[in-house]
A and B are shown apart, each in its own frame.
Chain A
């Protein structure tokens, strides 16, 4: 077993064809370490989401390879890919994370439900307790605040203990307090439970929670930084834009 949770090799994704072709990511090679918290930054349209989708098996590459562990996703059928997403990967999206007709608790256990497995009750209890959602479990998403909704989404991702959690601007829609709560929670998952997280963000403060930041620009990796702080990240962005 390597210490690499996921990696991309010369990953390229082109949308459209001919005149309207857009190269969203261009020969990106990157590795994400286990039990580490990696942030992907970059200006809007730089290919952050595309890279994440392709690495998570939500979308296909045009060329190059992506691996989850040792598994080359490009070699998998839709069915096998589905199993990878179900069993090995967790997601937190910017919005629309929850099935509106299910309660918070049902949303949290949804991946288990899909797999037809019983959740690990002790683990589930500790995740829920950590998230401070105990009294909101029977509520529907519409009855929860944005911050609570995102915490439910985080709980869902954590509950099935995936090898890797991908988060795409999870705090993008939240006010600063809710945002800080959520980011703390994710950082705590990495520190205390050894969870691996890859998070897309364009917020330097969010990025500062990570162990490492990768900077994308125009579909390529333009820089990276270890043990970021918000100020250093901001400086780096400014210098990259200059």
Chain B
């Protein structure tokens, strides 16, 4: 029996490879994601090992906050540790963020994503931070800088050049480039820029005189690291800790791995979506091939093969296809890893890489997923095959294709769809304290809805295919008519193929509708509520805490075009044990951001806080109640709630006074300055004037609110493009399904096509007939997908309404384009089967049994 299976597979290599292709792509993407992220992780491991080579002990302050300013340690107390017994050498270091290198045109480098670092860089045997000189020498004195090799090559800096650098609270200043450094083998740190100074210089630059981030220690030869740590501990300043170099390397590697895990999951999601689509394709292919082999399978039954043997035969076929496809998929994964790397580099995320890493885990996951998906897809077709009566071998004409009664289909389909919707809505509208996160329910619910709709879709395949086929009938006449009839004649096949496409199109539609709606929401917010005309903000788009010198606000306030300014600082603190943004506001803040309703006083005094209504409701914090914020540098502080506000622009606000801000945060520079124009000045005029005033602060940009909206829209669209690109994989797999179905259907209709050709259908007309049918199927899928996608988007936006997502926009132009594009792609993916159909030998086709 195994021989029958294997021979059958081998005899249908084309069928095999088409089925396998869907799996190869899905598994390839998953394997590729693993290879890519594992490679990055390995590269980072290597970096940290290098970085801490020769470092026995690291003194550092640890913060739980991701967007925090970092905790700083008193320099004198750290240097004093050098006197502890068996400490051979102690190298103090300081590092900071938001230090921007300007290119030769004076424009900030980076800021679109990865951070902009500054480090102290000291000549020593004890490696600190992992930078090593590539050329030149170490920086010495207040005039010298070393930069990372990537920044140097990208912006044509050579040793001896003057490099301008801007720190958060400092205007730009020129330094002489005396050296170029690499981070181990890497030219930079994951796309970040790095400026390296001697310790005194960076302390001054960051306003951190007498402060350090930590120190690296080398112990005396023969001394035990653990013992030295033990003897260091009593003298450590508050908030500092001592770790062995090895633990520090491991800790950093773990941190990176956690970050990568998120990235990994994000990418894997698309791989699994693709495989889910693949499931539909494979199930459909198996269903068709089982039908085509009815006689063969029934013959085996007549000869005494048990139902189980036939069932197993189809499943073994699936296992073999699954294994072959997974193995090819793993190989393809290497290529995809490379592609991912290129794509992400194009998007500005340059991550370090090493030689591609293939872990056992990757192989196991790829095989399990690949084989699992194929076998699951084959379960129903296999059951169908096993239920073929042996008599079907003899009376094929009399065995009507077993069709589920329409009512059964309608009932089952509706039940599945409604259950899917219930799970989806549960995930959207019920907040959970325990169990899997809500998004899992949303995803699973959506998957069930897809299955339900695919069960239901044959019910309306006929009328829809008739409608979609209409233009083809007009355009191509007879071939169009035949295509339409073929699509209608096999409603199950038409809709199963379309269902696969539906999934990809649904998700793309969802993303488009969400993006359009969010853009609209932002437009409305910015357009209506805010009583400011111009905003001054940092050029670092992705870091909400990136700040610039407060001098800018002072200058703006004095300008005649300006009526009033309001400064805001943004930072993080722990609130309810989660990292939460806190803003420092001026008393006039509520004038700039009008409230719909408020309670109490919106102008917080010392140890007072103003919060948004939802935060108050969710955490049961009425006026007069107390709330604790834990700051990085000053620790937990209790505030009294004095005001509660609600309004479209007040989302998630926890605001303290600027006096308290200065008390609890080290960085006092502004993250945003809101400017209202004096009467007689347009926003554009104010912008022009303030831009001139801010010329020496390249890390700040002056924008009108229209420009701000455009900027935000651009970011959202960038994300949308990335997601659409990744979903493209699912769409491609679905389109391969179209090729697959059309190939099988041409094969099945060999006789019929031969007959049509015999009575005079030209090759060209034959091709048109096949392509038009593919197009009808594809458009059917697109229409379904768009309908469901719009519905999903509506549901999700409804769930997000109380978070301010009030607009619901259907981008009709984009969606129409999608329908047309899908129809066209259907044609493209049917070229091969169409060509085959047109090349059939007429005589042979008619004699074909």
Contact = CB atoms under 8 A, between A and B. Distances in A.
Interface in A75-125: 78-79, 82-83, 85-87, 89, 91, 93, 95-102, 106, 110-111, 113-116
Contacts of A53: 391, 394
18 contacts: A58-B389, A58-B394, A59-B391, A82-B301, A85-B304, A85-B390, A86-B304, A86-B305, A89-B304, A96-B393, A101-B4, A106-B3, A106-B7, A110-B300, A110-B303, A113-B1, A114-B1, A114-B304
Contact of B4 (A79, A91, A110, A116): A110
A83 B299 contact: no
A35 interface: no
B311 to A, nearest CB: 12
A83 B299 CA distance: 14
A168 B299 CA distance: 14
Contacts of A208: none
A6 B51 CA distance: 87
Contacts of B307: 78-79, 82
A111 B307 CA distance: 15
Nearest to A99: B296
Contacts of B849: 95-96
A91 B8 contact: no
A110 B304 CA distance: 10
A58 B11 CA distance: 28
A148 interface: no
Contacts of B715: none
B304 A82 contact: yes
A19 B574 CA distance: 81
Interface string A41-75: 00000000100010000110000000000000000
Contacts of B7: 101-102, 106
Interface of B, helix, strand, loop or mixed by DSSP: helix
B97 interface: no
Contacts of A106: 3, 7
A82 B394 contact: no
Interface in A119-147: none
A93 B393 contact: yes
Give chain B's interface residue range (CB within 8 Å of chain A): 20 to 34
A130 to B, nearest CB: 21
Contacts of A79: 306-307
Contacts of B10: 101
Contacts of B303: 85-86, 91, 110-111, 114, 156
B296 A83 contact: no
A50 to B, nearest CB: 10
A97 B391 contact: no
Interface string B121-144: 000000000000000000000000
Contacts of B394: 49, 53, 58, 93, 168
A156 B303 CA distance: 10
B462 interface: no
B69 to A, nearest CB: 71
A214 B390 CA distance: 25
Interface in B285-327: 295-296, 299-307, 309
Contacts of A78: 307
Given A58-B394, A59-B391, A93-B394, A100 B11 contact: yes
A231 B371 CA distance: 63
A114 B3 contact: no
A58 B391 contact: yes
Contacts of A82: 301, 304-307
Contacts of A96: 295, 299, 393, 849
Contacts of B8: 99, 101
Contacts of A111: 303-304
Nearest to B296: A99
A2 B472 CA distance: 69
Interface string B360-393: 0000000000000000000000000000011101
Interface in B1-59: 1, 3-4, 7-8, 10-11
Contacts of A99: 4, 8, 296, 299-300
B35 to A, nearest CB: 37
Nearest to A162: B304
A102 B2 CA distance: 12
Contacts of B309: 114
Contacts of A100: 11, 296
Nearest to B5: A101
Given A79-B307, A101-B8, A115-B304, A59 B389 contact: yes
Contacts of B393: 93, 96
A114 B300 contact: yes
A116 B4 CA distance: 13
A98 B4 CA distance: 12
Nearest to A52: B394
Contacts of A83: 304, 306
Interface in B801-827: none
A110 B305 CA distance: 10
Contacts of B1: 113-114, 116
B127 to A, nearest CB: 66
Contacts of A89: 304
Given A86-B304, A93-B394, A114-B304, 14 more contacts: A49-B394, A53-B391, A79-B306, A85-B304, A91-B302, A96-B295, A96-B393, A97-B299, A99-B8, A100-B11, A100-B296, A111-B303, A113-B3, A113-B4
A156 B8 CA distance: 19
Contacts of A58: 302, 389-391, 394
Nearest to A115: B304
B239 to A, nearest CB: 74
Contacts of A101: 4, 7-8, 10-11
Nearest to B308: A79
Nearest to A90: B303
A53 B392 CA distance: 11
Contacts of A98: 299
A36 to B, nearest CB: 23
Contacts of A114: 1, 300, 303-305, 309
B301 A102 contact: no
A225 B307 CA distance: 39
A176 B1 CA distance: 35
Closest 6 CB pairs of A and B: A86-B304, A101-B11, A85-B304, A101-B7, A82-B306, A114-B305
A140 B303 CA distance: 19
Contacts of B391: 53, 58-59
Interface in A157-211: 168
Nearest to B295: A96
Nearest to A78: B307
Contacts of A87: 304
Nearest to A140: B11
A95 B397 CA distance: 13
B42 to A, nearest CB: 46
A95 B307 CA distance: 23
Interface centre among B3, B300, B389, B394 (most CB of A within 10 A): B394
A160 to B, nearest CB: 9
Interface in B500-537: none
Nearest to A110: B303
A83 B301 CA distance: 10
A90 to B, nearest CB: 9
Nearest to A59: B391
Interface in B307-354: 307, 309
B614 to A, nearest CB: 63
Contacts of A49: 394
A135 B817 CA distance: 62
Contacts of B390: 58, 85
A180 B366 CA distance: 58
A113 B1 CA distance: 6
B3 A85 contact: no
